Structure 1
Amino acid sequence: MTDTMRAVDIEGGKGPISALHIGHVPKPTLSGSQALVRVKAFGLNRMDLLQREGQYPVPPGASKILGVEFSGTIEELGEEGGGKEGFKKGDEVFGLAYGGAYAEFIAVSTHMLVRKPAELTWEECAGIPETWITATQAMYLIAKFAPGKSILWHAAASSVSIAGIQLSLADSASAVYATARQDEKCKFAVETLGATAAFNSTTQNWAEEVMKATNGKGVDIIIDFMGASYFQSNLDAVARDGVIVNLGFMGGTKLPAGVDISAFIRKRCTFVGSSLRSRDEGYQGKLRDQLVEHALPRFKDGRFKILVDKVLPWEKIQDAHRLMEENRTKGKVICTITQ
């Protein structure tokens, strides 16, 4: 076995889509509790686009190779063996890493691996870890969701919101709302995912629509990826004692003049930011366990859907990033590796 592997590299370390190419890099070495996984498929996430452009800080010690979620087979185990799950060479798995998934091989903690169910494809499994764990974290750990609460998911056709809408419905939210910037995606949120209602944030005043739909109460939880551009509307739409969880800045980071923050006192609401990749393995591992206990049985029997919009061979990684940047997808973009 050689000491090198193929991986997606970025010419110059950062740059536009055209800088992406497949090159040869050193194969990762294992520490005690890690497994070396031969990657079959990997999922794309918006952080990958930011990292490619040099705008996303990689956690200390993480691989500089793009990608955090993958599926594949265990090729080798570290000196501590298969961990509490008893993994062994040849096991089919999927998992979450701090980086390195756009490659033939990835070194990852055995605690962050999940056994691949026979009912799911490699491509579906590669689209689960980052998105479903992020949705779980935002809903339960950060926003303290409980049955009977109402919730709104922005970017309804994003993979995190697709997961979150399904989780909210399964766990008895009183109402599940969504926003998107295209009518087609709003229709998708309601008709395919089962959201109570969805509003076009380009053509409608979605905050006013939310207040009408809730008889002036607002929503208990808002999961936001936009940042500055939705800040005021989030405060207008949140209910008393509600929580706004911010996970991204697609709408910028600088607030315009005239923003009214009185809702923080009038409504006693909370605005909290969070991320997943910067968390330590213990924190991520608990979420991984919650995913296995709470969501995996529903993946197996079909109650939860992993919606894959497009599957491309990794040789077309530039096309895959272009799809993400165009914001036209409904669900995951997955790349496969033929070895």
Structure 2
Amino acid sequence: MRITAAVTEDRGAPFRLVPLELDEPRAGEVVVRLVGVGICHTDLNARDQLRPFPLPAVFGHEGAGVVEAVGDGVSYVEPGDHVVLTFNSCGACRMCVQGRPAYCDQLAARNFAGTRADGSTALHRAEGDVHGGFFGQSSFATHALATERNVVKIDRAAPLELLAPLGCGIQTGAGGVLNSLRPEAGSSIAVFGAGGVGISSLMAAVITGCTTIAVVDINGARLELAKELGATHVVNAADGDVVAGLREITGGLGLDYTVETTGVPSVLRQCVDVLNQGGICGLIGADGPASEVTFNVSTLLFGRTVRGIHQGDSVPRTFISKLVDLYQQGRLPIDRVIKTYPFADINQAAEDMAKGLTIKPVLTFA
């Protein structure tokens, strides 16, 4: 079928809207007409080749839309169903069968290879094939080809354009707290970074009943938003010693939990240094495959833990549905961080996010 997609031709090149041919769905595949798609920093990192992905390519991995067609053997969804798209997984490896699809043994092959698992491509034009399958979807397009495993059916009354970021950024931030760290009611937590992932972590900390919730950032407007959404304390990292400031909040004891969402190695060090004995740091942000950080051995020795978290340790079919319920109940106000842009304005939306003017851009389709 003929679609319009935002193609990245070369490293760092602007997105260019062009017509492409999309394959009909094969066995186990699903074609989704996009209603909204979030832009994530991972999309921009892949565009800029900070995370290698074959070019030319179509990125986008926070899609939401309506099922238009299904391939043989698909039983979970049917045409007309409303769905959120998320990461892909095999469903059969040791991690998937343990209920940990975010750590699927085939995660790279099914999300970052630029092809189907069998090496074929689903996007074509006269000049040659275009790489796709980014996070099993490549949803910077009017239509995306996904699989039955990485579509999540949701309530048709829910606003698809607002729920698109549930597939990655919000799932990651909220899941990092709700699924991975699981802080006890009354515990203390600090979230480093007030972007889409960090604000989602903040919202989740409020839901769990944390009573000391600090947010660290250098953007004053985002810190004000954090206070409106439930942060009990905010710390502007540009104003002084972050670790000392957070320890003062806890009377010198340190925090039970921290969440690192910035991808800055020095910030990760702060996340660990501010923990109390027995505290846990959830590592979500990433600065590329070559980044490294050092810790004081004695700091870690006394029961402190650094826990890597991917996709919020989510089982998407159940967790995204829970997030939709929380949104509909008014307990996960994700609309406070979203700004919508027409699909044609994708480059402006990406620029606004890179400059910190928009927390979570969502592209919409007429």
The TM-score with structure 2 as length reference comes to: 0.78
- Residue 28 to residue 218, structure 1, CA distance change in 2 (3 Å): farther
Query: C-alpha separation between the residues in 2 aligned to 1:28 and 1:220?
Result: 50
Q: Secondary structure at the match of 2:168?
A: helix
Name the residue aligned to 1:6.
Answer: 4
* Counterpart contact for 1:152–1:177, Cα < 8 Å: yes
1:236-255 matched pairs, under 5 angstroms: 236-249=273-286, 253-255=291-293
Q: CA deviation at 1:96?
A: 1.4
Match of 1:197 among 230, 233, 243: 233
CA distance in 1, matches of 2:27, 2:143: 17
Q: Measured at CA, do residues 137 and 298 of structure 1 come closer, stay the same or move farther in structure 2, by a change above 3 Å?
A: closer
Conservation of the 8 A alpha-carbon contact between 1:119 and 1:300: no
Q: What displacement does 1:116 show?
A: 4.2
CA distance 1:138–1:298, change in 2 (3 Å) = closer
For residue 102 of structure 1, report the CA deviation from its aligned partner: 0.3
**CA offset at residue 40 of structure 1?**
1.4
Tell me if 1:166 matches 2:194: no
Classify 1:208/1:142 alpha carbon distance in 2 versus 1 (closer, same or farther; 3 Å): same
Q: Deviations over 1:1-59 (max 9, x none)?
A: xx3321110122x224xx3101123314424333210111110101011000011245x
Equivalent pair of 2:7/2:57 in contact (CA under 8 Å):
no
Pair 1:65 & 2:58 matched: yes
8 Å Cα contact 2:220/2:236 also seen in 1? yes
What is residue 15 of structure 1 aligned with on the other side? 12
5+ residue gaps, structure 2: 88-134
Task: Determine the structure 2 residue equivalent to 1:49.
Answer: 44
Q: Compute the RMSD of aligned alpha carbons.
A: 2.6
C-alpha displacement of 1:254: 4.4
**Any runs of at least 4 consecutive aligned residues in structure 1 with deviations exceeding 6 A, and if so which?**
none
1:80 correspondence with 2:108? no
Superposed CA deviations along residues 135-179 of structure 1, whole A, max 9, x for unmatched, are 2442244334333332211112x1112221111111112321111
Q: Percent identity?
A: 20
- Please give the per-residue CA displacement for 1:256-313, whole angstroms capped at 9, x wherever unaligned: 8xx6343111x32112333339xxxxx75x2431231x32222112222113442111
| Equivalent residue for 1:305, pick from 325, 333, 351 | 333
Q: 1:68 to 1:322 in 2, by over 3 A?
A: same
Structure 2 partner of 1:182: 219
Aligned to 2:353: 324
Amino acid at match of 1:90: G
- Paired residue secondary structure (2:311): coil
The aligned residue for residue 264 of structure 1 is 300
TM-score between the two structures when normalised by the length of structure 1: 0.84
Secondary structure, counterpart of 1:127 in structure 2: helix
How many angstroms does 1:89 deviate by?
A: 0.9
SS at match of 1:82: coil
Aligned residue type for 1:334: V
CA contact (8 A) 1:232 1:260 kept: no
Unaligned 5+ runs, structure 1 = 278-282
* 2:166 aligned residue: 128
Matched residue type, 2:307: V
Match of 2:251 in 1: 215
Count of aligned pairs: 314
Is the Cα contact below 8 Å between 1:227 and 1:246 reproduced in 2? no
